């Protein structure tokens, strides 16, 4: 993680800590760990995971906007999606993705779900993508043209899945990797 947060006595976070949480910035006096250290730790933790978690949550929200598997509408929708998208749909169709498709997110396999979404989108040819967009757009409970809305859904799913995959890759970076990155840019 490259983000740094410096605690300044006049910034909003410092004011919140002192006024709302009644935590002096130099607490505890003379201690090894003070409020500023705790804030840096919290900021690092939040930056490290919040982006991926937000993207995962959004990916789930996109699928939640579609007809639910196991319902009459859902069975029809997923059958029609399979016909419209061909073999590409096998990456995301509920019966093939593993029953607990979104349970994997809870268990920390965020990139696996996102990779399936990206594989699905990559495998669609132009005609299949148009047919899938039309079907998804028709299933959304939003005003607008079906193909346009479906294409928005597909682009959003693609970008969101990419964010998850990229964030998952970055999680394994070490301090040396980050320093090499910064040094490389400084010397460019």
Residue 65 lies in a domain: yes
By the 10 Å C-beta count (0-12 exposed, 13-18 middle, 19+ buried), 166 is classed as: middle
Cα 36 to Cα 25: distance, rounded to the nearest angstrom: 6
Q: According to the model, what pLDDT value does residue 15 have?
A: 65
The DSSP secondary-structure symbol of 70 reads: T
Is residue 52 a contact partner of residue 164, using CB atoms and an 8 Å limit?
yes
Distances in Å between the Cα of 83 and the Cα atoms of 131, 135, 136, 167 are: 9, 10, 13, 33
Residue 85 lies in a domain: yes
Residue 33 lies in a domain: no
Specify the pTM: 0.68
Range of the domain at 150: 50-186
Is residue 7 a contact partner of residue 39, using CB atoms and an 8 Å limit?
yes
15: part of which helix (H) or strand (E)?
Answer: helix 12-15
CA 43, 46, 49, 54 torsion: positive or negative?
Answer: negative
Residue 35 lies in a domain: no
Number of domains in the chain: 1
| Axis-axis angle for helices 126-139, 72-85 (nearest 10) | 160
Q: According to the model, what pLDDT value does residue 2 have?
A: 39
Could you state, in chain order, the average pLDDT of each consecutive group of 10 residues for the chain (188 residues)? 50 63 65 67 58 75 90 95 95 77 67 87 97 96 89 95 79 72 87
Q: According to the model, what pLDDT value does residue 155 have?
A: 97
Residue 3 lies in a domain: no
Tokens representing 186?
Answer: 């400084």
Cα 75 to Cα 77: distance, rounded to the nearest angstrom: 6
Q: According to the model, what pLDDT value does residue 70 have?
A: 87
Residue 9 lies in a domain: no
Residue 20 lies in a domain: no
Residue 127 lies in a domain: yes
């Amino acid at each position: 993680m490259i983000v740094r947060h410096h605690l300044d006595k006049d910034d909003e976070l410092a004011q919140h800590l002192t006024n709302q949480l009644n935590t002096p910035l130099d607490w505890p006096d003379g201690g090894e760990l003070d409020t500023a250290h705790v804030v840096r730790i919290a900021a690092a933790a939040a930056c490290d995971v919040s982006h991926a978690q937000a993207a995962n949550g959004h990916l789930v929200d996109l699928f939640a906007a579609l007809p639910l598997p196991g319902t009459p509408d859902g069975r029809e929708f997923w059958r029609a999606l399979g016909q419209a998208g061909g073999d590409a749909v096998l990456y995301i169709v509920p019966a093939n993705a593993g029953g607990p498709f979104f349970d994997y997110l809870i268990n920390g396999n965020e990139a696996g779900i996102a990779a399936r979404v990206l594989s699905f989108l990559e495998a669609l040819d132009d005609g299949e993508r148009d047919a899938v967009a039309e079907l998804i757009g028709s299933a959304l409970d939003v005003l607008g043209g079906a193909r346009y809305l479906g294409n928005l859904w597909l682009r959003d799913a693609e970008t969101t899945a990419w964010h998850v995959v990229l964030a998952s890759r970055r999680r394994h970076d070490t301090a040396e990797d980050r320093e090499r990155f910064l040094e490389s840019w400084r010397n460019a």
